[in-house]
Amino acid sequence: MTDYHNFIDGAWIDSDQRNQNINPSDTDDVIGAYAQADSNQTESAIEAASRAFESWSTGGIQQRADALDVVGSEILARKDELGRLLAREEGKILPEATGEVVRAGQIFKFFSGEALRAGGDLIPSVRPGIQVEVTREPVGVVGIITPWNFPIAIPAWKIAPALAFGNTVVFKPASNAPGSAWALAEIISRAGFPDGVFNLVMGAGSVVGSALLNDGRVNGVSFTGSVATGQRVATDCSRRGAKFQLEMGGKNPLVVLDDADLDTAVECAVNSAYYSTGQRCTASSRFIVTPGIRDEFVAACVERLQGIRVGHALGEGVQIGPLVDQQQLQQSLDYIEIGRAEGAKLVTGGERVSCDTPGFYLSPALFTGTSNEMRINQEEIFGPVASVIDVANLDEAISVANDTEFGLSAGICTRSLGAATRFKRESRAGMVMVNLPTAGVDYHVPFGGIKNSSYGPREQGRYAAEFYTQVKTAYIQPA
Ligand SMILES: NC(=O)C1=CN([C@@H]2O[C@H](COP(=O)(O)OP(=O)(O)OC[C@H]3O[C@@H](n4cnc5c(N)ncnc54)[C@H](OP(=O)(O)O)[C@@H]3O)[C@@H](O)[C@H]2O)C=CC1
Ligand SMILES: O=C(O)CCC(=O)C(=O)O
């Protein structure tokens, strides 16, 4: 088994403690032992990032663009190998994992270009003879805290814009899936960034994450993960005036109207709720269905789900891999019991699946006879579990869709332009999908939600500049 170290101030640094990364498709397969930083090592990384900031932020944008481009090219060239690693450590199936790696490579390429395109405004003053210049400057040292469910794409869409706009980075990946993060860091370490500009600090959230949140030298924190941890990020950062950005949960609705194309609706439902084993913040777990299509839709979903192959993420023809670990598996099983106790009817799935290798397998579960107030329809399950909620019409569908503390993505299947337009306008969500799954987004457009799903500026695309820069307004009168 190989040991993987942290990357601090341009050097690979070992720690006394290790975290073993286990393959959720085969718990006998240990992927590696990953160094666990303590608070002193985290402080060294913050100190290095702080020292490197001055010259990196004022240095040439060509150097930034070139280095980001090198990272993107290497990720794309190694997509098959990195995809296998990702599938092995996180449990999403190989095509999804390889797709995620490609997305990460494309993100670095995109932000390589953005480094060169950063601009400002020159605005005439209301006072004659004076010019007002609006420019964007980097924020400083940025702490990046990421989850396990997109272990290379989410780090990519935070690290690439941070570096492109002249910030320095201390990156803390999830303990559940450090392998892809380490591989990304190793690529970045050889891409031409000066020492200290990028630092990888693997370790427990309560140690490394907490140190990042509470250190006055960390000027901004970008976080994706649970609502509970997101709230802690918010409290700690606001206490000391640091900038922060949060991407958290979802309870995303998929509305299916009578006039929907049935095949499209079933495809959208199955993809949204069950692909990536339901472990996406954009996953749909509430199918909100009108009466004219309801029975056909449920029957077609059940047939499709019963034909789905659950198994090892690297297995040929497998469509759904395991949950990421025992805790996530147990969380889904618990919600299945909660749903039953609430009076919902489990029409298919929700059972542990035995495969050739020991892993956290669960068959895709669908409830009917549910109402929106039930806990299974209000709380994020983050597993392959969804419910059908019966509604009378579009009015009720919109009202039920919006009746949640979350607001990340929302989908509708319909052939009516009028219904789709109204849903788009009235959805209390940051992203709306029409005849498309609620999950699976492009890498070059804004990503994020409202209500308890997100806080702060949008991520991704050119909108990422909002978080990773701050605006300076200068008034200039030629002497
Ligand atoms: N919106 C999304 O995309 C995601 C949502 N979730 C939701 O969260 C639930 C729990 O998943 P989990 O992985 O525990 O999510 P967490 O929010 O605990 O983890 C996300 C990141 O935050 C870090 N972290 C944990 N505690 C702290 C802390 N005190 N200070 C700073 N950083 C910290 C974690 O580190 P470490 O890994 O070391 O604990 C990880 O890097 C899931 O069931 C799901 O509902 C989970 C993942 C992604
Ligand atoms: O749906 C997607 O493509 C992205 C989902 C995501 O970012 C997440 O689950 O954290």
Q: DSSP string of 242-259?
A: -EEEEE----EEEEE-TT
446 located within any domain: no
Same domain, 280 and 299: yes
107 located within any domain: yes
- Residue of 447, 459, 460 with the most ligand 2 atoms within 8 Å of its CB, for mutation: 447
The residue with greater pLDDT, 104 or 59, is 104
Nearest 5°: the CA angle 83, 408, 337 is: 80
Q: What percent of the chain has pLDDT over 70?
A: 100
Kindly report the average pLDDT of the chain as a whole number.
Answer: 98
Query: Quick one: DSSP state of residue 152?
Result: T
- Residue of 101, 148, 150 with the most ligand 2 atoms within 8 Å of its CB, for mutation: 150
Same domain, 232 and 279: no
Q: In angstroms, rounded to a whole number, what is the distance separating the alpha carbons of residues 404 and 110?
A: 34
Q: What percent of the chain has pLDDT over 90?
A: 99
Q: State the residue range of the domain holding 305.
A: 252-434
445 located within any domain: no
CATH number at residue 365: 3.40.309.10
Q: Is the pLDDT of residue 209 over 70?
A: yes
Residue 91's region, left for phi above 0, alpha for psi from -120 to 50, else beta, is left
Establish whether this prediction's ipTM goes over 0.90: yes
> Which amino acid residue places its CA nearest to atom 10 of ligand 1?
226
Is the sign of the CA dihedral 8, 11, 17, 19 positive or negative? Answer: positive
pLDDT of residue 10: 98
**For the residues of 411-461, what is the DSSP string, one character each?**
EEE-S-HHHHHHHHHH--SSEEEESS-SS---SSS-B--EETTEESSPBSG
pLDDT of residue 176: 96
pTM above 0.95, yes or no: yes
Is the sign of the CA dihedral 337, 338, 343, 347 positive or negative? Answer: negative
- Residue of 101, 146, 441, 459 with the most ligand 2 atoms within 8 Å of its CB, for mutation: 441
pLDDT of residue 1: 59
Q: What is the mean pLDDT of residues 103-129?
A: 96
- Reported as type and span, the H/E element at residue 172 is strand 168-172
Span 224-273, pLDDT tens digits: 999 999 999 999 999 999 999 999 999 999 999 999 999 999 999 999 99
Q: Is the pLDDT of residue 464 over 70?
A: yes
pLDDT of residue 445: 98
- Residues with Cβ within 8 Å of 468's Cβ and at least 6 positions away in sequence, in order, are 138, 139, 142, 161, 162, 164, 165, 167, 220
Same domain, 216 and 287: no
Is the sign of the CA dihedral 392, 396, 398, 404 positive or negative? Answer: negative
Q: Is the pLDDT of residue 437 over 80?
A: yes
pLDDT of residue 343: 98
Same domain, 237 and 294: no
Q: Please give the distance, rounded to the nearest whole angstrom, from the Cα atom of residue 281 to the centre of ligand 2.
A: 6
Same domain, 302 and 420: yes
Same domain, 220 and 337: no
93 located within any domain: yes
Same domain, 29 and 71: yes
Is the sign of the CA dihedral 67, 73, 74, 79 positive or negative? Answer: positive
Q: What is the mean pLDDT of residues 368-376?
A: 98
Same domain, 238 and 279: no
> Which amino acid residue places its CA nearest to atom 2 of ligand 2?
440
Nearest bound ligand to CA 447?
Answer: 2
pLDDT of residue 118: 85
Q: What is the mean pLDDT of residues 16-41?
A: 97
Using CB distances shorter than 6 Å, the residues near ligand 1 are 145-149, 172, 174-176, 204-206, 209-210, 213, 224-226, 229, 232, 247-249, 281, 328, 331, 380, 382
Nearest bound ligand to CA 330?
Answer: 1
Same domain, 137 and 259: no
CATH number at residue 176: 3.40.605.10
Span 286-330, pLDDT tens digits: 999 999 999 999 999 999 999 999 999 999 999 999 999 999 999
Same domain, 216 and 117: yes
First CA to last CA across the chain, in angstroms? 67
441 located within any domain: no
Domain total in the chain: 2
Work out which ligand 1 atom sits closest to the CA atom of 175: 37
Same domain, 20 and 110: yes
24 located within any domain: yes
DSSP H helices, 308-371, are: 326-341
Same domain, 226 and 301: no
443 located within any domain: no
Which strands form 284-289's sheet, in the order they lie side by side?
345-348, 365-370, 385-390, 284-289, 252-256, 409-413, 431-434
447 located within any domain: no
114 is catalytic: no
Place of tokens 């929302």: 410
Q: What 3-state DSSP class applies to 375?
A: helix
pLDDT of residue 348: 98
